[in-house]
C-alpha cells in the first residue's frame, strides 16, 4: 500500500475476543497449529505486528487478507512469526527426552538381535535436528550401546543438505547446548564457529527427499521413528494428508511420528494412534 502510515488512530492496538477466536479457528483449519487461551498475549502480538507490516487498517481486514490471499504469502508470513522459522540444536528437546525415555524402550522390545533402530529426520534442514538426536541418544539413552542406531536425515533443499553434511554452525545455533556436549562433539575451527566432529558427521545418512513425492517416500521403509517437525504447517490439507499417508507406509508397525510443538495430527490424518508419554504426545502406527 502506498499510503504512508503515521500510526494514527486508524492503527488497531488490540485484538477483540471475536477476532482472536476467528483467527485461531482459521489458523487451525489451515495449518493444524493450535493455540489455547493461554497463548492469547503471544498471538495478539503476532497479529498486530502483521497488521502493521501488511498495511491494512484493521484486524478484520487482516483476517480477510489472510483468507483471500491466493498467493499464500501472508499465510506463510504469519506461520513464520507464530513458529520459529529457524532450526537450532536441542530445539523442542522434550521430544528427544521422550525418544530416549519412552519411545525407544518400547521400540526395542520387539527388535530381533542385530536389527538396527532406524530414526528419520524429515525435514532435517541444516542438520541441527539429526545431530541433536544423535548426541542426545549417545548421552541419555541407557541402552545405546546395545543397538545399532541408524539416523537418516532428509530435506527437499539440496543447499541445506550440503550445509548439514558440512556441519558448521554459529553461536546462535549452538547456544542451547551444554558446554560438555560442545566439548565432546564439536571442533572449533575459529572462535565463532563450531563444527561437528568427523565421526558423528559420517555416521548420519543425508539424502534428498521431497516428502510430497510418493515414489521417493515409498523407498524409505522399516523406519522406527520419524521426526516431522515444522514442515507440514506450510502445506495445504491434501499435501499434509498425502505426506502422513506416505509416512505411515514408511514406518514399521508400531513405529512413531513426532510432530513439532503446537502441531497436531488431529488436523492432518486419522491414520495414527495417539500416545501420551511422560514427556510428550506422539503418534503411532498401530502394531497389529
* Chain contacts with other proteins (rule: CB under 8 A): 18-19, 21-22, 25-26, 28-29, 34, 58, 60-61, 63-64, 67, 116, 118, 134, 137-138, 144-152, 199-200, 202-205, 207, 214-215, 218-222, 237-238, 241-242, 245, 248-249, 264-271, 273-274, 276, 281, 288
**By CB under 6 A, residue 231 contacts ligand SAM:** yes
DSSP structure string for 172-209: HHHTTS-HHHHHHHEE-SSTT-EEE-HHHHTTEEEEE-
Q: Which residues pair with 263 in a beta bridge?
A: 33
Q: Which residues pair with 120 in a beta bridge?
A: 152, 226
**By CB under 6 A, residue 204 contacts ligand SAM:** no
Q: Are strands 117-121 and 281-284 parallel, antiparallel or unpaired?
A: unpaired
Q: Is 43 helix (H, G, I), strand (E, B) or coil?
A: helix
Positive or negative: CA dihedral 158, 161, 167, 172 = positive
Residue 157 contact, options other proteins, ligand SAM, none, Cβ 5-8 Å cut-off depending on partner type: ligand SAM
Q: Are 285 and 251 in contact (CB under 8 A)?
A: yes
Which are the contacts of 223, defined by CB distance < 8 A and separation ≥ 6?
A: 118, 119, 120, 152, 250, 251, 252, 255
Residue 22 contact, options other proteins, ligand SAM, none, Cβ 5-8 Å cut-off depending on partner type: other proteins
Q: Are strands 194-196 and 168-169 parallel, antiparallel or unpaired?
A: antiparallel
Choose which of 87, 102, 132, 269 interacts with ligand SAM (CB under 6 A).
87
CA 74 to chain CA centroid, nearest Å: 20
By C-beta, is 129 or 224 nearer to ligand SAM?
A: 129
Binding segment for ligand SAM (CB under 6 A), chosen from 153-161, 172-180, 186-194, 249-257, is: 153-161
Instruction: Quote the CA–CA distance of 107 and 99 in Å, as a whole number.
Output: 10
Shortest approach of other proteins to residue 207 CB, angstroms?
Answer: 5
**By CB under 6 A, residue 226 contacts ligand SAM:** no
Residue 173 contact, options ligand SAM, other proteins, none, Cβ 5-8 Å cut-off depending on partner type: none
Q: Are 35 and 262 in contact (CB under 8 A)?
A: yes
Binding segment for ligand SAM (CB under 6 A), chosen from 46-54, 171-179, 207-215, 265-273, is: 207-215
Residue 260 contact, options ligand SAM, other proteins, none, Cβ 5-8 Å cut-off depending on partner type: ligand SAM
Q: Are 103 and 256 in contact (CB under 8 A)?
A: yes
Q: Which residues contact ligand SAM (rule: CB under 6 A)?
A: 85, 87, 91, 123, 125, 129, 155-157, 160, 209-212, 229-231, 260
Amino acid at each position: 500500500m502506498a499510503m504512508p502510515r503515521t500510526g494514527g488512530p486508524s492503527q488497531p492496538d488490540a485484538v477483540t475476543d471475536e477476532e482472536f477466536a476467528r483467527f485461531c479457528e482459521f489458523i487451525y483449519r489451515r495449518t493444524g497449529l493450535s493455540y489455547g487461551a493461554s497463548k492469547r498475549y503471544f498471538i495478539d502480538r503476532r497479529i498486530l505486528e502483521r497488521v502493521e507490516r501488511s498495511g491494512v487498517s484493521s484486524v478484520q481486514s487482516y483476517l480477510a487478507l489472510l483468507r483471500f490471499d491466493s498467493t499464500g504469502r501472508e499465510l506463510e508470513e504469519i506461520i513464520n512469526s507464530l513458529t520459529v522459522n529457524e532450526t537450532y540444536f536441542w530445539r523442542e528437546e522434550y521430544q528427544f527426552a521422550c525418544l530416549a525415555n519412552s519411545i525407544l524402550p518400547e521400540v526395542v522390545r520387539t527388535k530381533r538381535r542385530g536389527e538396527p533402530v532406524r530414526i528419520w529426520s524429515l525435514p532435517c534442514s541444516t542438520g541441527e535436528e539429526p545431530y541433536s538426536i544423535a548426541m542426545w541418544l549417545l548421552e541419555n539413552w541407557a541402552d545405546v550401546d546395545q543397538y545399532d542406531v541408524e539416523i537418516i536425515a532428509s530435506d527437499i533443499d539440496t543447499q541445506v543438505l550440503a550445509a548439514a553434511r558440512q556441519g558448521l554452525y554459529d553461536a546462535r545455533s549452538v547456544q542451547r547446548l551444554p558446554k560438555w556436549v560442545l566439548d565432546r562433539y564439536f571442533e572449533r575451527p575459529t572462535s565463532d564457529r563450531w563444527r561437528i566432529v568427523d565421526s558423528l558427521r559420517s555416521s548420519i545418512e543425508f539424502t534428498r527427499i521431497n516428502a510430497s513425492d510418493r515414489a521417493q517416500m515409498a523407498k524409505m521403509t522399516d523406519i522406527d521413528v520419524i521426526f516431522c517437525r515444522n514442515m507440514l504447517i506450510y502445506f495445504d490439507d491434501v499435501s499434509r494428508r498425502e505426506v502422513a499417508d506416505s509416512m505411515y507406509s514408511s514406518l514399521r508397525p508400531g513405529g512413531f511420528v513426532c510432530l513439532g510443538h503446537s502441531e497436531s495430527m488431529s488436523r492432518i490424518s486419522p491414520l495414527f494412534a495417539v500416545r501420551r508419554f511422560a514427556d510428550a504426545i506422539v503418534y503411532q502406527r498401530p502394531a497389529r
